Chains A and B, each alone.
Chain A
C-alpha cells in the first residue's frame, strides 16, 4: 500500500468519524430538550444545558452581573410554523463570599431566587420560562426550540429599567443573530402532541 493510499484511507476514516459524530450530536440535540405540561403552561427541561460556564462563569466569579436571554418557541405542523413563543431575560450574579448564585427575572423584579448552585440557577431559569398551552393545536405535531444567549454587557443595561425590562428591547435583541462574543446555545425537542404530555 502506497503512502498516498494510506493517507486517502485515513482521510476517509476521519470524514466518516466526523459524520458519525455529527449525527450523534444531532440526535443528542433532540434528546436534550424535554417538554413538560404544567397547569396551563408548557415548560422545558434541558439536563445537559449548562450555560453558566466558560467566560460567563468567569465574569460571574469576578462579581459581575451576567444577563442571559432566553427564547422558547413552539412550532406546529412544520418546524418553521411558529405559533407561540416566550422571551425572558434573567440576570445572574454570584456572591463572592457565599459562593452561591442569585437569579432575577428582569421582566418583573419581584421574582428572584438566591443561594443557588450553578445547576440550580440554570434550572430556576428554565422553570420560569413558560409558554401557555391554551390555544396550541392539539391535532398537530409540535416542536419546542430553546435559544439561550448571554446578553452583551453593553446592551444589558439600556434594556432594563428600575421596574424591569423593556419587552420591545428584548425582542429587538432576539431579532438579530448573536454576536461573536456572545455565548449561545440552541436546543430542539423531538416532535410531540399536546395530548401526549402528562400534566404535572
Chain B
C-alpha cells in the first residue's frame, strides 16, 4: 500500500484515507497466483487425530470434545482450529492454548496437538458436585483451587448425604504437586474434617446390634482424615496411586476414646477416550482400589476393602450408551464410612438406601445401563448389597430424565430424572436433580 506525504505533521491524517482509497482501486497489475484462498499450506492435509498434550491434567467438556472430534477426517481448517483453541483456553482458564501439527500416518494427513499453558498462577472457583434427591435431600460441594506452576491447592466445603450411610459435612484441603521431576509422578496431601449425621434407621440398626460382626465402629460424631499419596503414570493412561489414610473417629459419647482407621491405599486406574473419525466417541474409566487398615499403622480397626469400578461410554451421532459396573467386598471390621451403599443418586436410583440396608454392607455389586438420545436419558439399574454369609437379593430400578450431556470426562453436565424402584406393590418415584454427580 502506498502513500505520498510531504508535511510530516499531517502524515497520519492524510495517510489513512489515501491508503484506503488506493486499496479500493486496485494494485499495480502484478501477476496473480490463483488458488491462494487458504492461508495455511497445510490446509490441504486431512486431520488424522486431535489431542491435548498432558490430557490427564485437564477435564474438557463434551462440547469441546465433540468439536475436536468434528475436525477429524476433514481438511485442516485453520480458523476452526484457532476457534477451538480459544474455547479450550476459556474453558480451562489457561493463559494460552497453542497447537502443533505433526505428520500423520500417511503423507496426506496431519495430527493436531493442542498445548495448554496455564500461566504462573490462577484461581478457580467451582461447584464440583451438586445434587438434590427428593428422599435424601441435597448434597453439594464448593471448591476454590489455586494453581501456581506445578502446585495446586484446593479448599472445599461440602455436605454429602448421598454416597455413604451417613451424612458428612465439613471441609477438605488438598495440596498437589502435579509433577515431581517428571510428569509421570505427582504428590498429594489431603486433610479432611467432617461432622456426621445419621438417619434414624441407621441409629436404630446400630443400637439393635445389626451387622455387629462386621461393623468396626459404632456411630461417630466426627472424623478427621490425613491422606498423603503419590501417583505414578505407569503407562499412559494407566496410573497407580499409593498412599496412606489416617482417619480419626470421634465417638458420639465424648467420654469414649476415639478410634482410628489407618490404612494403606492403592488405586490402579485406567482412563482413556477414543475419538474416531466416523462420529463415534468412546470413553473408558476403570479402577481398582484397595484400602488395608492394619494395626502396624496404629489402627484400632483392621480390615481390607476392595472396590472395582468400570464405566464405558459410547457416543455415536446423537445417541449414547453408558455401561457402569461397581463391585466391592470388605474383610474384617470396617467403620461405617467404608461400607458399601446402594440406592443413592447413581446406584439403584429410586430405592431408599436406608430401606435396602441402613448400615450398608460388606459385599456389593451393581450394574447400570443408560441410553441417551440427544438430551433424553433412560436408565436401568440392578444390584445387591449384603453381608458376608447372607444371600444377596438383587434389586432393580429404572428411570427417565434429561441431561445436558453424558460422559465421564464432561464438565457441567446437568441431569434431571425421575426414578422408580421395580418391585411389587406401591411405588414412590424419586426425583433427582443435579450436576457432576
Name A residues whose Cβ lies closer than 8 Å to a Cβ of B: 41, 62-65, 80-88, 91, 93-97, 100-102, 104, 106-114, 128, 130-132, 135, 157, 160, 167-168, 170-171, 175
Contact = CB atoms under 8 A, between A and B. Distances in A.
Given A107-B23, A112-B33, A171-B19, A84 B42 contact: no
Given A93-B41, A128-B30, A111 B36 contact: yes
A130 B1 CA distance: 8
Contacts of B39: 65, 91, 93, 104, 106, 160
B56 interface: no
B110 interface: yes
Interface string B255-290: 000000000000000000000000000000000000
B82 interface: yes
A84 B36 contact: no
B4 A135 contact: yes
A17 B28 CA distance: 48
Nearest to A108: B27
Interface stretch (B66-74, B100-108, B119-127, B355-363): B100-108
Interface in B7-38: 8, 11-12, 15-16, 19-20, 23, 27-28, 30, 32-37
A163 to B, nearest CB: 11
A65 B8 CA distance: 35
Contacts of B207: none
Interface of B: 1-6, 8, 11-12, 15-16, 19-20, 23, 27-28, 30, 32-37, 39-42, 45, 78-79, 82, 98-103, 107, 110
A81 B41 CA distance: 40
Helix, strand, loop or mixed for chain A's interface? mixed
Contact of B1 (A64, A101, A135, A167): A167
Contact of A82 (B8, B34, B110): B8
Given A102-B41, A110-B34, A130-B28, A84 B3 contact: yes
B34 A83 contact: no
B74 to A, nearest CB: 16
Contacts of A82: 5, 8, 11
Given A87-B1, A130-B28, A96 B37 contact: no
Given A107-B23, A167-B23, A168-B20, A113 B33 contact: yes
Given A96-B102, A128-B30, 14 more contacts: A62-B98, A63-B40, A64-B98, A83-B4, A83-B6, A84-B5, A95-B41, A96-B101, A96-B110, A101-B41, A109-B37, A111-B30, A130-B2, A171-B16
Nearest to A63: B101
A64 B79 CA distance: 11
B77 to A, nearest CB: 12
A87 B15 CA distance: 11
A170 B1 contact: yes
Contacts of A111: 30, 32-33, 36
A8 B34 CA distance: 65
Nearest to B42: A63
A95 B4 contact: no
Contacts of B4: 83-84, 132, 135
Contacts of A104: 36, 39
Chain A CB within 10 Å, residue with most, of B28, B30, B41, B101: B41
A75 B408 CA distance: 65
Contacts of A171: 15-16, 19
A87 B11 CA distance: 14
Chain A CB within 10 Å, residue with most, of B12, B16, B34, B36: B36
Nearest to A174: B15
A96 to B, nearest CB: 5
